[in-house]
Amino acid sequence: MSTVDAAAAKLHPETRLVHAGTMRSQFGETSEALFLTQGHVYDNAAQAEGRFLNTDPGFQYGRLSNPTVAMLESRMAAFEGAESCRATATGMAAVTAAVMAPLRAGDHVVAASALFGSCRYIIEDHLPRYGIESTLVEGTEIDAWRRAVRPNTKLFFLESPANPTLEVIDIAAVARVAKEVGAKLVIDNVFATPLFQRPLALGADVVVYSATKHIDGQGRCLGGLILGAKELIEGDIQQFLRQTGPSLSPFNAWVMLKSLETLPLRVGKQAENAGKVADWLAAQAKPTKVIFPGHESHPQAEIIKRQMSGPSTMIAFEPRSSSAR
């Protein structure tokens, strides 16, 4: 059970990262409580039945939901502007659930070829084992998405900026193609961070994060998040998570709740520092090639201006070869 914090909409976005979704216990704690519990008691058998049928809004069993995890889900939904959010044990659990849960054998997926290795494995190797075909396209070419569509295409997947090339894709343009052909668009927003890019507002249906990265961002724990419309998140995706069990540990959820409080400070500083390193690298003798979303020289600089409010914290560069010295 995680609820949408309607009151959070009135808060400044950065205040949402501190307060949205907080549920206080009867002890009135100031900071979020850590519920390291597997199960919950019921007043009677009818209430127990209601909890499992989702007709009673309480908690039942830790694989399905947990109060600390629910606070994280609710806070992230409020920040991202999503109707619903579900947390997972890792970023790859989030990607796998978001991609596999809505699909059936016989469906077809189109994805950008510039992907993090594990994401590419899911699309290119894993899905076909279950009868789901996939086509990889040059994601920056919008016509390539259209050309790859088949009558059974149900889902588009992309990362922008991509790991590790920092290729940027016009999300609104791909979302328009997805809508035209009736496919759901899933975006891995890890490199953009929730601060610098809002895929749902650009037309995406689902956003996934490795919360391991900026959301914890301090090397302490793994986690993932899936956000989007209630119908999708609390439909096929929730069912997939409940039955297959990649639940986020309450302890990790609590660490991430605390991390969200400092997300703008940390990511803002990291992006600023990345910019300084990128400037320094770019000033070195050629042929060093620097790719940084904050530089005018980025191949998709125009798209970045339209769809990102910050440059990401990452830099890609090609070191000078020893023969070029």
Phi–psi pair at 42, nearest 5 degrees: -120, 150
Give the distance, in angstroms, between the CA of residue 130 and the centroid of all CA atoms in the same chain.
Answer: 24
Note if the bond before 57 is cis, omega within 30 degrees: no
Q: With respect to ligand PLP, which residue has the nearer C-beta, 2 or 163?
A: 163
Which residue among 72, 109, 190, 221 contacts ligand PLP (CB under 6 A)? 190
Nearer to ligand PLP, 8 or 267 (CB): 267
Would you give the DSSP letter of residue 84?
Answer: E
Q: Are 131 and 122 in contact (CB under 8 A)?
A: no
166 or 233, CB closer to ligand PLP?
166
- Report the alpha-carbon distance of residue 115 to residue 200 in Å, rounded: 20
Minimal distance, residue 224 CB to ligand PLP, in Å? 6
What backbone phi and psi angles, to 5 degrees, belong to 5?
-90, 90
Determine, following the binding rule CB under 6 A, whether residue 163 of this chain makes contact with ligand PLP: yes
Least separation in angstroms between CB 212 and ligand PLP:
4
* Distance (Å, whole) CA 240 – CA 77: 19
Nearest CB to ligand PLP, comparing residues 191 and 254: 191
Tell me the closest approach of the beta carbon of residue 118 to ligand PLP, in angstroms: 6
The stretch among 69-77, 89-97, 234-242, 267-275 that binds ligand PLP (CB under 6 A) is 89-97
How far out from the chain centre does Cα 250 lie? Answer: 19
Q: How far is the CB of 171 from ligand PLP (least distance, A)?
A: 15
3-class secondary-structure state, position 92: helix
**Shortest separation between residue 92's beta carbon and ligand PLP, angstroms:** 4
Question: Is 68 a binder of ligand PLP (CB under 6 A)?
Answer: no
Complete edge-to-edge strand list for the sheet that includes strand 206-210: 84-88, 224-228, 206-210, 184-188, 153-159, 108-112, 133-137
Closer residue to ligand PLP, CB minimum distance, 59 or 254: 254
**Which residue number, 90 or 197, has a Cβ lying nearer to ligand PLP?**
90
| Residue whose C-alpha is closest to residue 90's, from 59, 116, 60 | 116
Binding segment toward ligand PLP, per CB under 6 A, in 128-136, 185-193, 243-251, 268-276: 185-193
How far apart are CB 123 and ligand PLP at their closest, in Å?
Answer: 12
If binding is defined by CB under 6 A, does position 167 make contact with ligand PLP? no
Is residue 116 part of the contact set for ligand PLP (CB under 6 A)? Answer: yes
Which one of residues 212, 238, 259, 307 is an interface residue with ligand PLP (CB under 6 A)?
212
Are 60 and 178 in contact, with CB atoms under 8 Å apart?
A: no
CB of 207 to ligand PLP, least distance (A): 12
Tokens 């109707």 label which residue? 83
35 binds ligand PLP (CB under 6 A): no
Bridge partners (DSSP) of residue 111 are: 136, 157
* Count of alpha carbons within 13 angstroms of residue 150, beta-carbon side: 11
The residues that touch ligand PLP, with contacts defined as CB under 6 A, are: 90-92, 95, 116, 118-119, 159, 163, 188, 190-191, 210, 212, 222, 224
